[in-house]
Amino acid sequence: MQYIFLISILLISVKLVLPNGKNTNKPVQVNVYLEQARDYMNQLQFDSAIMYFDSALNEAFKLNDETLEAHITRLKGRAFILMSQDDSALVYLDKAINLAQILENDTILAIAYINVAYILKDRGMVDSAMNLYNESLRLYESANDSIGIGKVHTSLAIHYKYSGDFDLGLKSALIAKYIFSKQKMDASLARSYINLGNIYEKLGDYDTALACFERSYQIGQKINRPQISLTSLINRAVMYWHRGNTEMGEGDSLKAIESYKLTRDEFLKSIEFCKNINDLRTLAMLYSNISIVYRNLAMYKEAIESAKESIRISKEINMLTDELNALNNLGVAYKAIKQYKSAEKSYLESLKLARISKQKEAIKKACDNLSTIYELLGDYEKSLKYSRLNTVYQDTLFNEKKQKLIEEHKTNFEILHLKDLNQIKELDKKRMRAERNVTLGLSVFVVVVLLGLLIFFRMRARKNRIIAAQKIQKLEDEKKLMAAQSVLVGQEKERERIARELHDGIGVLLSTASIHFSSVEEKADKETAEMLKKANKLLKEAGKEVRHISHNMMPGVLSKFGLKEAIEDLFEVVEEAGDVKVNLDLTCGEERLAENMEIMIFRVIQEMLNNTIKHAKASRISLYITRGDEEIFIDYKDDGIGFDEDKLPFGKNLGVSGIRSRIEYLGGKLELESEKGNGTKYSISIPISEKLR
């Protein structure tokens, strides 16, 4: 029931703010893309929002504006949070954090910390989330950014509410309300009232909670933000529901029934409101929830109809979790009126969906429900079967929770370690500044001494002048040597520059030209449109080839993030194509190998993958990499048509020869197993010498 509220909290403005609090001068096209993305996010159309964020990122790359890139990357990460794709969200948020740290942009860094903390809190890592909230608050306070402080306190209010610290939550919510009221930020103020209402409800002050929800609803209507108004209505319904449960627990069933009726009325208003704004996701959730309310009011016909409507809508928008919840509600309603066969059908369908979506808690619940139903039906054999399954999943969930707690403590330690590292970096910066000042003073002193010595030597005999000349000649030779080294370094930088310009320059131009061709194609006559379509196809193929050449010249992911991330990036492209399924198990260790060794291993894996894609006609690839203390082991396998290496044509044999030569260069061993019709397997071991660690 909190789904809409959590989304409305995360929907913040997409304006880029620098540490001085002013908006950047972004080009018009970037503004257009960001505004469009913001509109789609307000409409909960996140896929479309992601598309416009990508377009804005391309513009930022063209402008070589790293601050803009960090900001948009952070927004894209937040969009993935709203899509419940936390792993993807963390990838983009991590990129944004790294860029913000390099740029020393505390504002982007602070809001990214808030987003990551939200994910950690959602995963139960409460202490880790709290550390990030505090760090974000420190950054905003250092910048004297009151709006940023308000955002942190809004998130802290939610955090404290979920952790049960209601007094602290109330304090944060009141601070946020005061700031947003003073700044006349109505949307944020409305969310603050929702926060306050939720906390007052937890404290048992239902009248004040209702007043807060009503105020939030009025502000949402005033500024034409239907999602805020809808969230207020839903929260009022939830509050009446909790109050009814409390009254029922206290034995006052008459008051509880009245509260349940008020819950029903608020949900009905919410359903009508939801229909008007065509929010199907929330509508499915509301029908599922009102089914529970009807059941508590003994209105079983209405409960069944509402659950069925929730199932229908969930199927329409392909929301398995909502359909699963509605099926469970339907089963409970049928069980209450002793229609056990109908209940069995609902529970079996919910078990099927739970297995498809791999929700172990839901599988356990469905097994428990089926065990009870079969007992009521007298089928004790099936009842025992599902009871045992329920026990198995209960044990599995217990072990997973135990592991999750271990990981949480590990994460807390890592974050504290990261804070210590940040403090060390600050001390290092101060030390380096002091060292630069000392070096500058010493340099001036040395120059003065050298000038004095030069004057002295010129007044000396010819022999001393020759010695001075020899010293000068030696310095010139050293300068020539340094120049030669600079040329070598420059060549490497030139390769990197060419790869970047191919990708960010020509690649972007080709993409832009393709977009223009597509626009013209829609307006042209049939014959011209066909020609434009062919030209557009060629442009896309050229752009693809440019990106391919750029990546092959300089694998940027490899140099920045290491071998594991580069391999994952390489296979992700293959998997996205959809023709080949990929199974990766990479244990590369945290310590980086020598750059030359990483590149050689990457090229070997790249060549094996190219052989599979181009020649093997495979449907599945498996890659396992394990790093030991002394060796790296690589097992690569595909289920393609296989080959006889001795009978390969010269051109195709070059790929295998290239793999062998690189492994031999690294002092490793290769075992190749392949025959026609049975796929290909490469088993590789490479020693890690001291110089390559």
Same structural domain for residues 272 and 310? no
How many degrees, rounded to 5, is the angle at CA 347 between CA 341 and CA 351? 145
CA gap 286, 566 in Å, rounded? 44
Q: Is residue 412 part of a domain?
A: no
Position 625 scores a pLDDT of: 92
Please check whether residue 671 is in contact with residue 607, taking contact to mean a CB–CB distance below 8 angstroms: no
Stretch (H or E) spanning 635: strand 631-638
User: Do residues 579 and 592 both lie within one domain?
Assistant: yes
| Within-domain flag for 290 | yes
500 and 465 in one domain? yes
In a domain, residue 410? The reply is no
- What span, in angstroms and rounded, lies between the C-alpha atoms of 155 and 195? 9
Cβ 208 vs Cβ 198: under 8 Å = no
**Residue at 356 is within a domain:** yes
Contacts of 17 (CB under 8 A, 6+ apart): 23, 107
Q: Are 38 and 68 in contact (CB under 8 A)?
A: no
Residue ending a domain, among 276, 293, 308, is: 276
3-state secondary structure string across 108-168: HHHHHHHHHHHHHHHCCCHHHHHHHHHHHHHHHHHCCCHHHHHHHHHHHHHHHHHHCCHHH
- 84 vs 95, 417, 511, CA distance in Å? 19, 28, 30
428 in any annotated domain: no
Could you tell me if 377 and 340 are in contact, meaning their C-beta atoms sit under 8 angstroms apart? yes
Greatest alpha-carbon span in the chain? 119
State whether 115 and 236 are in the same domain. Answer: no
Q: Residue 69 in contact with residue 105, Cβ under 8 Å? A: no
Neighbouring C-beta atoms of residue 129, cutoff 10 Å: 28
* Beta strand spans in 229-333 (E): none
Domain stop point among 530, 551, 572: 551
- Find where tokens 């993409």 sit: 511
pLDDT the model gives residue 588: 80
**Integer Cα distance of 295 and 293 in angstroms:** 5
Same domain, 388 and 285: yes
What gap in Å lies between CA 180 and CA 175, rounded to an integer? 9
pLDDT value at position 39? Answer: 83
Same domain as 592, residue 485: no
Amino acid at the residue 678: N
Rg of the Cα atoms in the chain: 32
Low-confidence ranges of the chain (pLDDT < 70): 1-27, 43-44, 397-431, 433-435, 441, 452, 457, 461, 468-471, 473-497, 499-505, 507-509, 511, 514, 516-517, 521-523, 546-557, 648-654, 690-693
CATH number for the domain that contains residue 166: 1.25.40.10
> To 5 degrees, how large is the angle CA 41–CA 43–CA 44?
60
Same domain? For 316 and 242 the reply is no
Q: Where does residue 113 rank: exposed (0-12), middle (13-18), buried (19+ CB within 10 A)? A: buried
Question: What pLDDT was estimated at residue 684?
Answer: 94
Say if 431 falls within a structural domain: no
Please count the structural domains in the chain.
5
Residues 307 and 247 in one domain: no
Residue 430 lies in a domain: no
* pLDDT tens-digit series, residues 581-594: 889 888 887 788 88
Q: Please check whether residues 211 and 311 belong to one and the same domain.
A: no
Q: 307: which strand partners?
A: none
Opening angle at CA 56, ends 50 and 57, nearest 5: 90
The amino acid sitting at 632 is: I
Provide the residue range defining the domain that includes 569.
557-692
- The last residue of a domain, from among 127, 144, 161: 144
587 shares its domain with 688: yes
Q: Are residues 106 and 159 in the same domain?
A: no
Residues 199 and 306 reside in one and the same domain: no
Residue 198 lies in a domain: yes
CB atoms within 10 A of CB 89: 22
Q: Which residue is associated with the tokens 């939610």?
A: 158
